[in-house]
Amino acid sequence: MDQNKDKQVEISERLRLFFVRQKIKIVLITSTIFLLFISFSIMKIYKERENILISEKFIQANIFLSSENKKKSLEIYDEIIKSKNSFYSILALNTILEKKLENDEEKIINYFNILQDLSIPNEQKDLLMFKKALFLIQISKINEGKNLLKKLSNSNSFLKNISDQILEN
């Protein structure tokens, strides 16, 4: 029985000495973990707020568009695309293309280039490339459009068959 008590006292004494000797390291590691946790939380809150602001801008642009204020809606869509939000930027470009809000072809191609750099799933990147190819063909930049379609055709994209069909015609 005394041996058990001696072992327990010895273990507790060792632990106490370890914590005394390593006090600075333990405090530093604990505070670093705490600061990292707070930093990640703040970043998450910031991203959520930014996403909410962009969604409100998207709604506002749609309201301007429905009230026939195309110029103001285009300005807001442009701002959304330049914000590089992975969801709303693509929606803004789609709306610009559908409603034919922008006549400057180079500006639209620039929008496509901005969105190609987003960190989005490959399926969305392929769809964006497909839309860009169709747009280029539509504005008589046929070779550039066909090159993009060939890229899609040579990849494992879900748009491979459609790209092949367009290239055949």
Look at 81 and 20; give whichever has higher pLDDT: 81
Question: In the predicted model, is pLDDT for residue 134 greater than 60?
Answer: yes
CB 73 within 8 A of CB 61: yes
- Report the pLDDT averaged over residues 112-129: 94
- Report the pLDDT averaged over residues 60-69: 96
Residue type, 133: A
Look at 63 and 16; give whichever has higher pLDDT: 63
- Report the pLDDT averaged over residues 50-60: 97
Encode pLDDT of 67-100 as tens digits: 999 999 999 999 999 999 999 999 999 999 999 9
Q: How confident is the model at residue 14 (pLDDT cuts 50, 70, 90)?
A: confident
Closest CA to 60 of 85, 84, 108, 92: 92
pLDDT on residue 3: 64
DSSP-derived letter for residue 86 is T
Q: How confident is the model at residue 16 (pLDDT cuts 50, 70, 90)?
A: confident
- Report the pLDDT averaged over residues 37-56: 97
Encode pLDDT of 154-165 as tens digits: 998 899 999 999
Question: In the predicted model, is pLDDT for residue 12 greater than 90?
Answer: no
